[in-house]
């Protein structure tokens, strides 16, 4: 259970963030006329924060399934890139492997890649608890929001800043921990350029493809230099 | 209010959920079973640093089209979070104080 205690402490910022963000989703869903059951279904099955907010507006507008599917593909294309950092880790998880793949989100990806897990702890088990607790908090928050709905006398506008704040703290931690700032600067630079070029709705996919290609080329060159010059 | 049948509602949650989960599983399905090439392995290390920077910009994507007031509120809150985090080094504190500050700005100012 050491893994559980370690995971619980590290995941706390995500647990708080998720509960309130998901409550916002639940309230929106309830106001659109759907109850806690649907909120739980979406939070267990989709489990993608930003997209679930969009789904509510699609449901209210009666948007076509093709548009819904395409938007999911574009908005969640970033999820595709997260797995690459955990290919070997998750495989060691045994029966936990499918769930680890299922529940890797922006926030758990960010936290898990920035954790320096002590060697005596089992990595996949820590990852499993971080991800399970995070999703539990997300599901509970959305059910709470949908069940309480309008009864919560509070305007949640601006609550999504939780996510921004969480990411800012993670970037700062990563920046201090890393000697090589090229990947972070590449990420900032390319996303800002693509945002200005193609706009907020479409910039994520080109940004991630471009960044991945550049990092692949540069890490390939580094690997080659290391072989050519073994000193 | 929603004017859709239960089946339609189900599909509008199920289909995007399926797509999201396929996207999550794809790297593992493609690369999960074979030995991982050194190129993929070296890519896994710098990628998180780049992606986190991209996600921060993703959260601030409203700035090019936002009003001056909205942008100033957002930037003030981001600076507060960064400042707190650099000095106090406490993630929960930085996040909660920053968000309360932002919500106060949005609701009151």
Instruction: Give residue limits of the domains in chain A.
Output: 2-175, 178-231
- Tell me the torsion sign for CA atoms A86, A88, A92, A98: positive
C-beta atoms surrounding A35 within 10 Å: 14
pLDDT the model gives residue A24 = 84
- Check: complex ipTM more than 0.90: no
pLDDT the model gives residue A231 = 47
Contact B54 A208 (CB under 8 A): yes
For residue A127, what are the CA distances in angstroms to A19, A61, A146, B31?
19, 38, 29, 20
**DSSP secondary structure letter of residue A207:** H
* CA distance linking residue A26 with residue A113, whole number of Å: 29
> Which residues 61-80 in chain B show a CB within 8 A of chain A?
61-62, 64-65, 74, 77-78
* CA distance linking residue A85 with residue A159, whole number of Å: 29
B chain contacts of residue A16, beta-carbon cutoff 8 Å: 92, 95-96
Residues (pLDDT < 70) of chain A are 1, 150, 153-154, 223, 226-231
pLDDT the model gives residue A203 = 86
- CA nearest neighbour of A56 among A136, A146, A134, A118: A146
DSSP letters along A92-158, please? TTGGGHHHHHHT--HHHHHHHHH----TTS-HHHHHHHHHHHHHHHHHHHHHHHHHHGGGS----TT
Is the CB of residue B44 less than 8 Å away from at least one CB of chain A? yes
- CA nearest neighbour of B20 among A36, A149, A113, A42: A42
* A104 φ, ψ (degrees, to nearest 5): -85, 115
pLDDT the model gives residue A71 = 82
Global pTM?
Answer: 0.81
Contact A98, A128 (CB under 8 A): no
The pLDDT tens digits of the residues spanning B51-104 come to 889 989 988 999 999 999 999 999 999 999 999 999 998 888 998 899 999 999
Contact A195 B61 (CB under 8 A): yes
* CA distance linking residue B3 with residue B37, whole number of Å: 50
Place B108 in a pLDDT band, splitting at 50, 70 and 90.
Answer: confident
What radius of gyration do chain A's Cα atoms show?
A: 19
Of residues B36 and B73, more confidently modeled = B73
pLDDT the model gives residue A57 = 80
């Amino acid at each position: 259970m050491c893994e559980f205690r370690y995971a619980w402490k590290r995941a706390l910022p995500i647990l708080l963030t998720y509960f309130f963000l998901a409550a916002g989703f639940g309230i929106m869903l309830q106001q659109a006329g759907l109850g806690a059951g649907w909120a739980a279904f979406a939070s267990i099955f989709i489990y993608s924060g930003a997209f679930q907010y969009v789904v509510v507006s699609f449901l209210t507008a009666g948007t076509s399934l093709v548009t819904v599917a395409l938007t999911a593909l574009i908005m969640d294309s970033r999820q595709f890139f997260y797995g690459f950092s955990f290919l070997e880790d998750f495989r060691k998880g045994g029966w936990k492997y499918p769930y680890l793949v299922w529940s890797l989100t922006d926030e758990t990806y960010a936290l898990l890649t920035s954790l320096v897990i002590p060697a005596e702890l089992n990595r996949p088990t820590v990852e499993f608890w971080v991800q399970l607790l995070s999703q539990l908090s997300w599901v509970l928050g959305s059910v709470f929001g949908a069940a309480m709905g309008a009864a919560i006398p509070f305007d949640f506008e601006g609550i999504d800043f939780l996510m921004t704040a969480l990411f800012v703290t993670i970037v700062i931690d990563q920046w201090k921990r890393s000697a090589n700032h090229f990947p972070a600067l590449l990420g900032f630079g390319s996303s800002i350029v693509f945002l200005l070029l193609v706009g907020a709705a479409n910039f994520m996919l080109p940004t991630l493809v471009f960044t991945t290609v550049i990092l692949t080329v540069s890490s390939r060159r580094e690997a080659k230099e290391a072989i050519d010059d073994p000193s | 209010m929603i004017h859709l049948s239960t089946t339609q509602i189900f599909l509008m949650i199920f289909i995007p959920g399926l797509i999201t989960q396929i996207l999550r599983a794809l790297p593992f399905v493609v690369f999960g079973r074979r030995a991982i090439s050194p190129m993929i392995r070296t890519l896994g290390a710098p990628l998180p640093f780049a992606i986190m920077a991209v996600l921060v910009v993703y959260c601030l994507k409203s700035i090019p089209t936002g009003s001056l007031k909205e942008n100033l509120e957002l930037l003030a809150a981001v600076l507060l979070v960064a400042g707190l985090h650099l000095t106090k080094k406490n993630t929960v504190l930085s996040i909660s104080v920053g968000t309360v500050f932002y919500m106060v700005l949005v609701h009151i100012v």
